[in-house]
């Protein structure tokens, strides 16, 4: 076993320092590369999601039909307590629409406040848009709009009179 001299020890510490700096550079480089890869993946996922959302929205509101005119007539019966989800499933089952979820969204948008499904038997056509079908089977709901008096936005004559105690 050879004895190390001071000169050899210094060299080994210098070599050790070089290897420590190489390890630090490797860590920084790998960390940076990892961040770049994560950022690239997030950008790709964002653009794929944006394109998918755009296409879905376009299909939803473009007036797409299952068949071109004249299409095929299909009889649909809406029950008293049929929900929007059940109606969308029925349209899909009968072949009147291609996307049940898109129909649910449209039902929510077009029937949530002023319109509701009207029970009865209807003849719908595969050349109708989902919106046309919804309009055909919907009835306008009479809802009493709150007035300013109901909301307490102005004083009534009774509320402005002074009390007998005052």
Rounded Cα gap, residues 138 and 119, in angstroms: 9
Give the pLDDT mean for 147-154. Answer: 54
Three-state SS at 32: helix
Q: In the CATH scheme, what is the code of domain 73-140? A: 3.30.1490.480
CB 84 within 8 A of CB 106: no
Give the pLDDT mean for 153-160. Answer: 54
For the cut 80, the answer to whether the pLDDT of residue 152 exceeds it is: no
5-39 residue pLDDT tens: 555 555 555 566 667 788 888 888 999 999 999 99
Buried b (16+ CB within 10 A) or exposed e, 119-146: eeeeebbbbbbbbebbeebbeeeeeeee
| pLDDT at 102 (0 to 100) | 86
Residue 90: count of CB within 10 angstroms of its CB: 18
Give the pLDDT mean for 69-90. Answer: 89
DSSP codes, 92-141: HHTTS-S-HHHHHHHHHHHHSSSEEEPPEEEEEETTS-HHHHHHHHEEE-
Confidence of residue 165 (pLDDT cuts 50, 70, 90): low
Domain layout of the chain by residue ranges: 11-62, 73-140
List Cα–Cα distances, 102 to 87, 129, 136, 140, 151, in angstroms: 12, 12, 18, 22, 37
Give the pLDDT mean for 65-73. Answer: 86
């Amino acid at each position: 076993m050879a004895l190390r001299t001071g000169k050899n020890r210094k060299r080994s510490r210098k070599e050790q320092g070089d290897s420590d700096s190489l390890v630090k550079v490797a860590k920084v480089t790998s960390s940076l590369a990892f961040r770049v890869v994560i950022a690239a993946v997030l950008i790709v996922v964002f653009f794929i999601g944006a394109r998918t959302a755009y296409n879905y929205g376009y299909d939803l509101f473009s007036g797409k039909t299952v068949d071109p005119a004249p299409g095929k007539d299909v009889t649909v019966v809406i029950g008293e307590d049929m929900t929007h989800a059940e109606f969308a499933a029925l349209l899909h089952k009968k072949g009147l629409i291609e996307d049940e979820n898109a129909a649910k969204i449209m039902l929510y948008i077009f029937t949530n406040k002023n319109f509701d499904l009207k029970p009865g038997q209807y003849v719908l056509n595969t050349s109708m848009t989902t919106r046309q079908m919804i309009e055909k089977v919907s009835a306008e709901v009479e809802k009493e709009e709150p007035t300013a008096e109901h909301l307490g936005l102005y004083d009534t004559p009774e509320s402005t009179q002074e009390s007998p105690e005052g």
